[in-house]
Structure 1
Amino acid sequence: MPGFVGRTSELAALNRHLDWVREGRGDQRGRALLLRGRRRVGKSRLVDLFCEGAQLPYVVHQATRGEDAQRERARFLDEVRRSSLPDTAVLAGVTTVAEWDTALRQLAAVLPDDFPSIVVLDELPWMLEGDPVLEGTLQTVWDRVLSRKPVLLILIGSDLAMMERLSAYGRPFHQRGVEMVLAPLSPAEVMTMTGLSAADAFDAHLITGGLPLVCQEWREGESRTEFLSRALRDPTSPLLVSAERALAAEFPAALQARHVLSVIGSGERTFGTIAAKAGAADRPLPPGSLNSALRTLTDKRLVAVDTPLSTRSGDRDRRYRVADPYLRFWLAFLEEGIPEIERGRGRIVADAVERGWTSWRGRAIEPVVRESLSRLLPDDIWPQVREVGGWWPRTNNPEVDLVGADRSPARVIGFVGSVKWHENGSFDRRALASLARDALAVPGADEDTPLIAVSRSGFTVDGLAATYGPEHLMKAWPSPG
């Protein structure tokens, strides 16, 4: 299954939902499944493989963004007619209908009564943009007709916020479907696909973001520089075009939010510096406009908001970052380099990546380390640690990479730590002295607070309460099935 290393568990989950329909476990014969995930993580491909392997009649309708609702319904009916569903002959001559209610009831009419079938609506949010009434219509037809058939209805969407809202309290489809999230490939899955060591696999994860289409271009055992040198010679490489396509789908019109995303991707993290860089030459972007853009970006899960973790509330010292590692890499290094690559001068972009790699990676790895530790903890050493974050004051000096606490804001600080992700050079006595000094600035920490460290290249100092290298961090991520 090329490009789908690690998707065994997701396919198994889809088959469990299908078994639920097969065995008639519920008071309704049908089941609705809401599948969401970031663009380019392989949702459509996963469901295609599932449908092909189920050996049951099915239909897949792929929505088109901006499509007129009438034409969307006509395409939907055409997909049903050409599908493997039985009795589609009853739709002969039915080329268009005036409402989704009629189209969905036409679908129900050709679904079998005595054995299961599968119906997939891919990019449902785009269908709702074309006809907002569809949300209520889908609920009505599901309750009255579709759920009485032995059907697995899979509703797919890349607009994460909209897909979450579909099943929220007060919305028509509330409690009518089960939810499933398809995440990007984990660092462990990237390691399996690339055949790299744990340290190099984390670096590969920062570049690919775990996107299957990008990961499968990475040849087994290929180094970072070898992969980039080859990928940046090809203007059609998934490494280049995946972000362009995803952003074109996310921002067909929201140009200001797209510009703010580029500013954050360039390394700006605070509200003030983002406003200054996103505005005109002599005038920052107004707070109202920036807040609106940031809301759009956070709703779409493109931007994450971090707050300092300590015994004090950190809401006033928020920092913004691009949530997806691949998109963060693309915005930092590739977006402006595309014209050079298209002129056959990809080596210039590869050289720019190499010059900025160490500095960029040092900050980009921190969220991945925190997530890894969050998955590993609590454990026997840190039984009370439930939150792992970082800490910084408004002046950003000092910045502390790791803080472990019982909650946020913390009642008790479990540890304070540092991340040194250097190609060469261990975590040494100088790094420990710097950590011990900076730890005292964290509200809630004192001289007795345990110190920990994360290092890519080992440790040459005593006095740490715990140490974590790439191999240990990799254990936080389930190995591919």
Structure 2
Amino acid sequence: MASTPFVGRGAELNLLRKRLDRTLATGSGTAVAIRGRRQVGKSRLVQEFCDRARLPYLFFTATKGASSLEALAAFHTELRESQLLPGDGALLSASPPSNWPDAFRLLASALSDAPGVVVLDELPWLAEQDQVFDGALQTAWDRLLSQRPVLLLLLGSDLHMMERLTAYDRPFYGRADSFVLGPLNPAETGSALGLDASDAIDAHLVSGGLPGILRAWPHATPALDFIEAECADPASPLFGVPEAALMAEFPAPDQSRRVLEAIGGGDRTHTNIAATAGSRSGALPSGVLSPILHRLSEEKRVLAVDSPLSVKPGKPALYRVADSNLRLYLAALRSAQEQTRRGRPEAAFGLVRRRWASWRGRAVEPLIRESLELAAMDGDFPWPETGTVGGWWNRQFSPEIDLVGADRAPVAGTLFFAGSVKWLTSPFDQHDLTALEQGVAQLPGFVPGSTGLVVASRAGMTAGIASDRIGLVWGPRDVVGAWPE
């Protein structure tokens, strides 16, 4: 099968090109730390950039679990075979360095005065192997590398460790620009697969925008058709990518893993998560669960936390798996994979299809909220002062308002709009409008006649609804159009 062409990432390529241009103009080094979850395409992005830059480069990828001496030997081999050295690399000694300070001195001698790009991929694994690696990198950068025309790209999938690399109390503080590489956006997903807006959103939700899954996705194939075909393949990336991510972050079935699985299975509140993730002796105590939730959301970034948005503080907070692909895996694909492994593809797909509408209805809400936030930056948006879009609910979850646009969060000063998401094959109808109008009457800060109403619907609205009652109808094309391709 032909390789998938490189799609999207225009902003990220321009960002890297800007740093390279700075290096070429000044003759001094520039360092950039790039972090992002596994399979998001960090290595592919940087390889594409290196190919387009047409400069000599070294691309070294660490191996998890390797010893420091093994990593140094591999680095030495890559350096000998890289484009940074003329000829066959005979200028380097035959023996690899025994420590990272010596390795970086070899790198500096290879760079000489010619511009080049140096990529260190999976940097956290190098730091795990050798406690002095961070300090050696900082010393080499300050004394040797930063005086040369080199663009140093530091990549890593452990978000917390990559953040710590440039933290105030760490050696490399203040020496590197940093950015997070997220998944492909819905517009890029649709462009890569040749899908219309509705199908592009479904594909984005299923894949999480991860190139590792999209590379296996046949052109112009709707999401359910793709899932059905992949249910005949137990080794499909549809199963393998989220499974690998789960095992990499949570190799042991410990309490953190149970908490994540409870949330992936549909539990959203602290109380329900504690009950599901608990043991036979009872629910997880708050003193145990709260630190786990904090770690999963603030350090691992695998969870997102949503709080009710209105002009008054609200509770409870709701938890969800941040990546929609991992969320689908925990909700349905993992069980489907078991059926596939047993040679029952029809049963596997039937399981996913039964859970599809309910799962998609929840999974699309954060995407719609983000698209409205992006659209508010456009002067044509009805409420350009909108700074954040969330949802609102009370302790009884009756009602739940899917969309709330406000000036700020978590406690708003002004609400600009409130609305409902109906992402089904049937259109938004009079019954839905009545429920929305009754619900927003309980939303703190909603002012009838002033606060607008918004409908996000996959199938539009029925003809009988008066258009003057709805300030904005947000459909699939609007959602996808909020993102640049």
State the TM-score bracket (shorter-chain normalisation). Answer: over 0.9
- One-letter code of the match for 1:430? H
Matched, 1:160 2:159: yes
- Segment drifting more, 284-293 vs 239-248: 284-293
What is the CA–CA distance in structure 1 between the aligned matches of 2:433 and 2:406, rounded to whole Å? 20
Match of 1:78 in 2: 77
Alignment of 1:172 onto 2:171: yes
Query: What is the letter of the counterpart of residue 243 of structure 1?
Result: P
Query: Which stretch shows the higher mean deviation, 305-314 or 164-173?
Result: 164-173
Question: C-alpha separation between the residues in 1 aligned to 2:53 and 2:24?
Answer: 11
Q: Residue type of the partner of 2:73?
A: A
TM-score by length of 1: 0.94
CA contact (8 A) 1:3 1:213 kept: no
| CA–CA distance in structure 1, aligned partners of residues 16 and 407 of structure 2 | 35
Match of residue 125 from structure 2: 126
Q: 1:439–1:446: 8 Å Cα contact kept in structure 2? A: no
- Checking the alignment, whether the CA contact within 8 Å between 1:3 and 1:215 is kept in structure 2 is no
Report deviation, 1:282.
4.2
Q: Secondary structure at the match of 2:90?
A: helix
Contact 1:311/1:410 (<8 A) preserved: yes
Once the two structures are TM-superposed, the CA of residue 324 in structure 1 deviates from its matched residue by 0.6
Aligned residue-pair number: 472
Q: What is the match of residue 321 of structure 1?
A: 320
Letter in 1 for 2:248: A
AA aligned opposite 2:414: V
CA contact (8 A) 1:86 1:112 kept: no
In the alignment, which residue of structure 2 is the partner of 1:15? 17
For 1:191 and 1:53, the matched residues in 2 are separated by 24
Name the CA distance, whole Å, in 2 between partners of 1:279 and 1:170: 37
Is 2:391 the partner of 1:385? no
Shift of 1:285: 1.6
2 CA distance for matches of 1:295 and 1:403?
25
Kindly provide the CA deviation profile for residues 133-165 of structure 1, in whole angstroms up to 9, marking residues without a partner as x.
222221111011111111111100111222223
Q: Residue in 1 aligned with 2:441?
A: 440
Equivalent positions of 1:202-217 (< 5 A) are 202-217=201-216
Match of 1:371 in 2: 370
- In 1, distance between residues paired with 2:471 and 2:229? 42
Residue ranges of structure 2 left out of the alignment (5+ in a row): none
1:90-147 CA distance string (max 9 Å, x none) = 43232241x322221222122121x211111101111112223222221111011111
Q: Does 1:309 align with 2:309?
A: yes
Equivalent residue number for residue 467 of structure 1: 473
Q: 1:125–1:159: 8 Å Cα contact kept in structure 2?
A: yes
1:416 aligns to 2:423 (yes or no): no
Matches within 5 A, 1:26-425: 29-86=28-85, 88-97=89-98, 99-113=99-113, 115-253=114-252, 255-298=254-297, 299-314=299-314, 316-378=315-377, 379=379, 380-408=381-409, 409-423=411-425, 425=426
Tell me which amino acid in the other structure corresponds to 2:433.
Answer: L
SS in 2 for 1:91: coil
Match of 2:452 in 1: 450
Q: Is this contact kept in 2: 1:167–1:175, CA < 8 A?
A: yes
5+ residue gaps, structure 1, are: none
**CA drift at 1:206:** 0.8
CA–CA separation in structure 2 for the residues paired with 1:450 and 1:280:
46
Q: Check whether the contact 1:186–1:477 (CA below 8 A) recurs between aligned residues.
A: yes
Q: Deviations over 1:197-256 (max 9, x none)?
A: 211211111101111121232222222222111111111211110111222222235732
Q: Which moved more, 1:158-167 or 1:234-243?
A: 158-167
SS at match of 1:92: coil
CA distance in 2, matches of 1:412, 1:56: 52
SS class of match (2:389): strand
Residues 2 and 10 of structure 1: is their aligned pair in 2 closer, same or farther, counting only changes over 3 Å? farther
CA contact 1:3–1:216 (8 Å) conserved in 2: no
Which SS does the other structure have where 1:145 is aligned? helix
Secondary structure at the aligned position of 2:424 is classed as: coil
RMSD (CA atoms): 1.8
Structure 1 segments, 4+ long, off by >4 Å, are: none
Distance 1:18 1:140 in 2: 22
8 A contact 2:309–2:390 mirrored in 1: yes
Amino acid at match of 1:306: D
The separation in 2 between residues aligned to 1:142 and 1:240, in whole angstroms, is 41
**Aligned-pair identity (%):** 47
1:14–1:435 distance in 2 versus 1, CA, 3 Å: same
> Alpha-carbon deviation of 1:439?
0.4
